[in-house]
Amino acid sequence: MNPEEFSRIRVYLKKTQRQLAALLGASVKAVQSFEQGWRNIPPHAERQMLFLLAAAAPESNDKSCWQIRKCTGAMKRQCPAFEFHQGRRCWFVNGTFCRGKAAASWPEKMAECRECPFFLSAMPEGVLLPHP
């Protein structure tokens, strides 16, 4: 997540920097630093921002990710999103079994998710920026 996207999400959520800092459990200075690009946005803050964004978005899909992606039974059995019944928030769960294996890190997972039609359908249109 880059600073512009972080800021766009805050604006979409209609939160001030102070309000967002409280939601993230961070200081106002940290939020300002994330938006200005002075500090890298840590994975836990990115994850919380995406969670809040998805929670604020209108529900667009009544199917789970494994239904949309047509996962096999073996893939579902290995996937923690399936195990914990998080078919609409699969991107929020580390270790999901997308593309036949779990991503090695949060940045790798997010790179996969940002190409996933299911993830993109869970987010409000026009808020997330195209990812390189």
Give residue-wise pLDDT tens across range 33-62. 999 999 999 999 999 999 999 888 877 667
Q: Is the pLDDT of residue 17 over 80?
A: yes
Average pLDDT of the chain to the nearest whole number: 88
Q: Is the pLDDT of residue 4 over 90?
A: yes
Secondary structure tally for the chain: helices H, strands E: 9, 0
- In the chain, which residues fall in CATH 1.10.260.40? 3-56
Tokens representing 37 are 């690009």
pLDDT at 26: 96
Q: Is the pLDDT of residue 104 over 80?
A: yes
Tokens representing 60 are 């667009």
Question: Domain 3-56 falls in which CATH fold?
Answer: 434 Repressor (Amino-terminal Domain) (1.10.260)
> What SS3 state is found at 112?
helix
